[in-house]
Amino acid sequence: MRSAPTILHLDMDAFFASVEQASKPSLRGKAVVVGGLGPRGVVATASYEARVFGVHSAMPMAQARRLAPNAAYLVPRFALYRSISDQVMRLLRALSPLVEPLSLDEAFVDLEAGGTAWDERSARLAGAKLRADIRAGTALTGSVGLAASKMLAKIASEQAKPDGLVLIEPGTERALLAPLSVRTLPGVGPATGDHLRRAGIHTVEEIAEAGEDELVRLLGKAHGHALFAMALARDERPVVAERETKSVSVEDTYDVDIHDRVRVGTEVRRLADRCVRRLRAAGLSGRTIVLKVRRYDFSTLTRSETLRGPTDDPAVVREAAARLLDSVDTTGGVRLLGVGVSGLADYTQEDLFAQAAGAVADESPQEETDAAPAPEPEAPAERRWPAGHDVRHAGHGHGWVQGSGLGRVTVRFETPGSQPGRVKTFRVDDPALEPADPLPLVPRPPGEDEEDEEESATAGGGKRPRNR
């Protein structure tokens, strides 16, 4: 472990909810919950104001509504979150070539590798400047942890929340860890935590006191050794700039169980096409097709098939997913379906037999029907006007959807830089009302968007071409 606190961990504060508050002046300082709003939806992020009521990530949305009935409940805007994440990651890469993103709103940075920090004082200055730059560029706040290891930096950023900076001085690590819960350490989830609790081990200090042999007896060799080292504040893991993508997948959870076998098959084909689009966007192909089915009783089945070579052909993936579905009993209903591709590569070596099968299927009347399905019944208003999404009215300008139903949609007209706006209600088919792109949280200088596009194009120009 290094002798200076030059590993930085950034965690954006309640990221999705904070983005929504920054873009909607009327929601600032109020409880905001972002996630799926259907009967089976879950909370993606809750603002700190909503957390006061006990709402937290991964909670069923129905439970969140009971705890905080007056909160604003919004559908995620992932494209906007990704664009803001890109801004933040650019700031991190300006500090060091070694940036390890963990998610859209979280990353490790090796400040020493970038020559940005070499001791406690320079690390603290770098962390403070990063927080100021994030606020200036995105109007959002992030919490920063600084320490001599990744584990400690992440613990420090958690202690810094919200909107703070905590630096763990070298030599103080053991004292800081000692009173903390065993769940603080990486790899200690609910099951391991309960196992340790039953053995009378509740804190990190008690893990260290138990000794390595006892931990190996309780948890097994690999986990026991690793946990004992972490309890002694030993963590030699480096910051890894590029993590290899192991799989690409998509899945949908349905508000009502699907019982119709034909509909299940249609959904699997649709998911396979979405998965391939995501695969191609990443410049990848894959050999192993995976189908995931969660049934009415919450039992989850996975089936996989490995092709003779990697592919990004939608017909091949559709055919493989359909074959996998044939081996799954969906009697009783399906609540979730997913299709994934693993065994990734950056080239393709098409399975000619599978490709031919796909071509024959594409020529069949049934496949033509699937490729161009008959128009579906008009979606409910809630589907057409998702709560929280941006709209523009010809007469009133930019706004966002507060809610919709019974043929009406309610819109609050405001922008990130305005005062809280007025609310108006329209018919859902009002021709003057249309979906709109999100506005920047902070106005960008003229020409900056074009520069960013050129930079992205240049950065992507080095990709190895694929054989098709």
CA distance 64 to 54: 8
Q: Say which of 20, 106, 319, 414 is annotated catalytic.
A: 106
Query: Three-state SS across 193-248?
Result: HHHHHHCCCCEHHHHHHHCHHHHHHHHCHHHHHHHHHHHCCCCCCCCCCCCCCCEE
List, in sequence order, every beta strand (DSSP E) within 41-98. 43-46, 72-74
- How far is 450 from 94, CA to CA, in rounded Å? 19
Instruction: Give which of 286, 279, 294, 281 is closest to 338, Cα–Cα.
Output: 294
For the question of residue 106 being annotated catalytic, the response is yes
Angle separating helix axes 314-326 and 261-281, nearest 10 degrees: 140
- Mention every residue, 6+ apart, whose C-beta is less than 8 A from residue 146: 5, 6, 7, 8, 9, 123, 124, 127, 153, 156, 165, 166, 167, 168
Q: Are strands 142-147 and 7-12 parallel, antiparallel or unpaired?
A: antiparallel
Helix or strand run (H / E) with residue 20:
helix 15-23
Interior angle at CA 179, CA 177 and CA 185, nearest 5: 45
State the Cα–Cα distance between residues 401 and 412, nearest whole angstrom.
7
In DSSP notation, 396-425 reads: TEEEEEEEEETTEEEEEE--TTS-S-EEEE
Q: Which residue type does 201 have? A: I
- Taking the C-alpha atoms of residue 80 and residue 453, their distance in angstroms, rounded to an integer, is 16
> What is the spatial distance between Cα 190 and Cα 197, in angstroms, rounded to a whole number?
10
Return d(Cα 368, Cα 464) in angstroms, integer: 34
Of 184, 168, 167, 189, nearest in space to 231 by CA: 184
Q: Could you tell me which of 64, 85, 67, 68 has the C-alpha nearest to residue 16?
A: 85
If you count them, how many residues does the chain have?
Answer: 468
Active site (catalytic) residues? 106
